[in-house]
Chains A and B, each alone.
Chain A
Amino acid sequence: MYFSWGDPKMATAFKQSDDLMAAAREEAFSMPLDKIDVSDGARFVNNTFWPFFERLRRDAPIHYCAESKFGPYWSVTRYKDIMAVDTNHAIFSSDAHLGGITVADMDDDFILPMFIAMDPPKHDVQRKAVSPIVAPANLAVLEVLIRERAQKIFDNLPINEPFDWVDRVSIELTTQMLATLFDFPWEERRKLTYWSDIATSDPDLPGNPNRQERQVILLECLQYFTNLWNERVNAPPAGDLISMMAHDPATRDMAPMEYLGNLILLIVGGNDTTRNSISGGLLFLNENPDQYEKLRQNHKLVETMVPEIIRYQTPLAHMRRTALQDTILGGQHIRKGDKVVMWYVSGNRDESEIENPNAFIIDRARPRQHLSFGFGIHRCVGNRLAEMQLKIVWEEILKRWPMIEVLEPPVRVSSSFVKGYEKMMVRIPG
């Protein structure tokens, strides 16, 4: 049984989350600073991590957490400090062999080199092997395809009946996109969703595959893609990602684990992030009816709303680096080998850099000034594709329906890396 937005039962559901947040705020501002550990995925499930970052930004913007399930790490929580780390790849390394790009180190016995987890010069040549797929000329081709598919998905949605927006729209649309980029067997495309979810799942959580099981599943992914590679390497060069990697001198001789690493990067990068921004946008408009009304009155605001959705969602909550030498950051002494986590989700709410950062405002003057894509040489290669997908989604929604109702608080992902939604029930009023 679902109820519509504004219904008293809905208010009760949200009152519960308000109470949780109040308790979290109390805890965040009273606990000893050195005990704060923002890497705990549980706080992302119930969305109560916000006050902890607020405290760190105020009291300890470069903060050391000595004990966590991921080991000791530094948190960088202010916009400007994050920018400083992100643009200093000479000191702050992304190398997979030093742990990689998330607060969770890669498994020692299962290191996946991928270009996001490499430093120059190797990073540069591998990134350049795949970046043409999101170059302007190809984006124009993809735009037509994405729009046709979005139209088809929307035209088949049930009216006046509850359904899961995450599954029917967000996952479906991004998985179709990804299948196109890989020229992946169409009917089996949900394998991509599955592998993406497995790659980012927490092996310590009950119900998730453990490390061993995860490795087995990812090796199946490698096997599947190796078959595709073998087909494409013997065929003339084509415009899909596998063919591009198979024919580019920088990537054609990759070792199997490096191929798997780059696949996982492209699958997760092109899947989770856009998926969760598609879901998040609808949630934010429901939470902010004045903004939804503003959008209904002026569909052109999609242009500035899209980057605002990406800021407000921050689909990847953090990126991690490893210090290659001792350095001083914001007055703190970072030592060689220390793990440094840039919390984009915090920097995107930094009041000293973004005006009224906790508000979702669809017509901000400079909406693209946010950290969600990262900055520096690892800045998201697919950022313009992501924006285009979201733009098409909202243009096509507005052509069809003035309102889509979120029916209950969404189920959130248990991760301090992938910030997203497992399920979000909605109804399109008929």
Chain B
Amino acid sequence: MSHVTFIEANGTEHGVDVDNGVSVMEAAIQNSVPGIDGDCGGNCACATCHVYIDPKWAPLTGERTQMEHDMLEFAEGVEPNSRLACQIHMTAELDGLVVRMPESQH
């Protein structure tokens, strides 16, 4: 199990514990964390699980894939630390991960 903290655009924090291997998107959906939609079910195909990775965790979450890059092209409010949560899978190394959500998923 690892811990993820989701921070809504209004500052509300949600901490959840999930099995390793589960994607950060699934972690939110399984625990009814508001602010992550995940319409495509984790196929990197809708960009409705857009999150901002807390800077100190960025080196551990890896790089965007080409498809992820293409999908983020059309998301709102994209920043250099934007990622799609379905493309990040929890590991022991990511225990304690902090991600922030945009105002809405689009």
Contacts and interface: CB of A to CB of B under 8 A. Distances in A.
Interface of A: 83, 86-87, 89, 120, 124, 127-128, 131, 134-136, 366, 368-369, 373, 375-377, 379, 381, 384
A379 B106 contact: no
Given A136-B103, A136-B104, A384-B106, A377 B74 contact: yes
B45 A86 contact: yes
B67 interface: yes
Contacts of A384: 104, 106
Interface string B21-38: 000000001000000010
B76 A136 contact: yes
A80 to B, nearest CB: 9
Given A135-B106, A375-B40, A127 B74 contact: yes
A120 B67 CA distance: 12
A87 B44 contact: yes
14 contacts: A86-B45, A120-B70, A128-B73, A136-B104, A373-B39, A375-B40, A375-B45, A375-B46, A377-B70, A377-B71, A379-B46, A379-B74, A384-B104, A384-B106
Nearest to B106: A384
Given A136-B106, A375-B46, A379-B46, A124 B41 contact: no
A131 B39 contact: no
Interface of B: 29, 37, 39-41, 43-48, 67, 70-71, 73-74, 76, 103-104, 106
B101 to A, nearest CB: 12
Contact of B43 (A83, A127, A131, A366): A83
Contacts of A131: 74
Nearest to B43: A83
B74 A369 contact: no
Contacts of A366: 29, 41
Contacts of B29: 366
B60 to A, nearest CB: 26
Q: Which 7 A-B pairs have the closest CB atoms?
A: A375-B45, A368-B39, A136-B104, A87-B45, A376-B45, A375-B40, A369-B41
Contact of A87 (B37, B43, B74, B104): B43
A368 B37 contact: yes
Given A128-B73, A376-B71, 11 more contacts: A89-B70, A128-B74, A134-B106, A368-B39, A375-B40, A375-B45, A375-B46, A379-B45, A379-B46, A381-B74, A384-B104
A141 B2 CA distance: 40
A373 B106 CA distance: 12
Given A136-B106, A377-B71, A369 B39 contact: yes
Contacts of B70: 89, 120, 377
Best-buried of B40, B41, B71 by chain A (most CB within 10 Å) = B40
Contacts of B74: 124, 127-128, 131, 377, 379, 381
Contacts of A86: 45
A385 to B, nearest CB: 10
Given A83-B45, A369-B39, A377 B73 contact: yes
Contacts of A87: 43-45, 67
A79 B8 CA distance: 32
Contacts of A83: 40, 43, 45
